[in-house]
Structure 1
Amino acid sequence: MLTGLFTRLIHRFGVAPPTEPEDDALHRLLDLLAAQAAHDHWKIRFEGQLSGLADAGMQPEDICFDDRCVLGRWLQADGKASVGQLPAFRQLVDSHRSFHHAASNLLSLQRSGRIHEMNRLQRGAYSISASTISRSFMALRRQLDLPPTEAPRPD
């Protein structure tokens, strides 16, 4: 199973041409997993910058847009085309938008030295939207009758 999954990922991202017809359920699962992994990676980079551990070069005026990251582009294109009719998809779109607005505000508050407000927002709207994104991915997998990938992680 894992060998087939890795082969499918290689084909999906254009490293090698597919050798067999696409399995629709596997295709949807891989798209969801790739979108979720991209979001997790973005969030790690953002939180690293916010904590001062690394400078990811993120600017509040850029990250406020929810359609510029990999997940946002997937939501606007492939995700919308393949699962856009599902209620969990709409929730994912809404929570992703809230997440980016909160992230932008966090970075703005940090840069202006308003750390107390930043901490309150990080524990509030930012954390809630990040958790809702994770739950929305799980709900999408259930609505598509796809296997769960893992237990939800606390955000």
Structure 2
Amino acid sequence: MGFFSRLFQPQADGLQAPSDWTRLPENDASELVLLDEEAYKLMAQFDIDAAIATHERWLPWLAMVLQGARDERLRPEVVADDSCSELGQWLHGSGRVALGHFPAFDMLLRRHRYFHQQAAALITHAEAGESRQAEQAHKACLHASRQVLLLLRELQRGLLHTRRPAALR
């Protein structure tokens, strides 16, 4: 838990996190915490449980594609766009506004983008009959998806631990 708590601390200057998200911030935060008002604004704007559920729905669809099923809605050129999903729309919109200054936000955004790139690759390889490459892309999807879900759950845990501000009681 300490790893993610350090990642979700805001930048001291309030600016966007640096592109090198592999370095941990130098503060000694003990748990993932958002400022009270910030947390409640975010919870009002976005349902993390729903985001987790909708993201998890991708995995059975991709498994069916890997097994040879075809779905016209799952076109590689559409799936490759990480803003095609509900989570992606939030990450590129109000999520960036609310959380863009936290170092882990860019990690979440990049993992989500990578998931969509690998999902598009899986579809492309499966449609071309390249089963070995499709399986590799599927494994990459599963790994990226677990990371996205882990980051979302850590974010949710931090939001739930935040006390309600007096002005909102």
Q: Which has the higher helix share?
A: 1
TM-score under structure 1 normalisation? 0.67
* More relative contact order, 1 or 2 (CA 8 Å, 6+ apart): 2
Kindly tell me: are residues 69 and 133 of structure 1, through their superposed partners in 2, closer, same or farther at Cα, counting changes over 3 Å? Answer: same
Kindly tell me: are residues 90 and 54 of structure 1, through their superposed partners in 2, closer, same or farther at Cα, counting changes over 3 Å? Answer: same
SS of 1:128's equivalent? helix
How far did residue 122 of structure 1 move?
A: 1.6
Separation in 2 of the partners of 1:74 and 1:26?
Answer: 11
- 1:20 is aligned to none
Is 1:85 aligned to 2:85, yes or no?
Answer: no
- Note the 1:1-155 alignment, pairs <5 A: 24=40, 27=43, 31-52=47-68, 55=71, 57-123=73-139, 125-146=140-161
TM-score under structure 2 normalisation? 0.62
Q: Deviations over 1:77-122 (max 9, x none)?
A: 1211222222332221110000000000000000100001211222
Amino acid at match of 1:64: A
How far did residue 145 of structure 1 move?
A: 4.6
Q: Percent identity over the alignment?
A: 27
Any gaps of 5 or more consecutive residues in structure 2? Answer: 1-38, 163-169
How many residues matched? 124
Any gaps of 5 or more consecutive residues in structure 1? Answer: 1-22, 148-155
Structure 1 vs Structure 2 CA RMSD = 2.7
Q: Which runs of 4+ in 1 moved over 6 A?
A: none
